Amino acid sequence: MKGYLNIDTLGVDEVLMQPLMLVYPNPTAGELHVMSECPIVSVTLLSVDGRELLSRKVEDTYVELDVSNVPQGVYLMRLSTEQGVFIRRVLKE
């Protein structure tokens, strides 16, 4: 269904198999930095209702995303990698 984001729960084995991803600083007032042990293909910032706010294509294990123009609140960051799609919660101050 377009516009909705489905987040499944993970079992212990699935969590242990996820690649290491650091999203910092969190909370942030300006830039978010993402480091991953596997190459990131794209990064997308979504509102909690699934609207796409920012999107960027990447082909690296490190990316910076400027969120200074985004209002304060809670957001979801969708990280697409060669190993799958991962969601991280981000707080904008």
Element (H, E) at 71: none
Instruction: Return the pLDDT at 1.
Output: 45
Quote the domain boundaries for residue 45: 12-92
Q: 26 phi and psi, to 5 degrees?
A: -145, 105
Residue 17 lies in a domain: yes
Residue 31 lies in a domain: yes
Instruction: Return the pLDDT at 51.
Output: 95
- Amino acid identity of residue 44, one-letter, is T
3-class state of residue 12 by DSSP:
helix
Instruction: Return the pLDDT at 87.
Output: 93
What are the pLDDT digits (tens) for 31-77?
999 999 999 999 999 999 999 999 999 999 999 999 999 999 999 99
Q: Please tell me the pTM assigned to this model.
A: 0.78
Residue 30 lies in a domain: yes
Residue 7 lies in a domain: no
The CATH code of the domain that includes 78 is: 2.60.40.1930
Q: Which residue has the higher pLDDT, 55 or 18?
A: 55
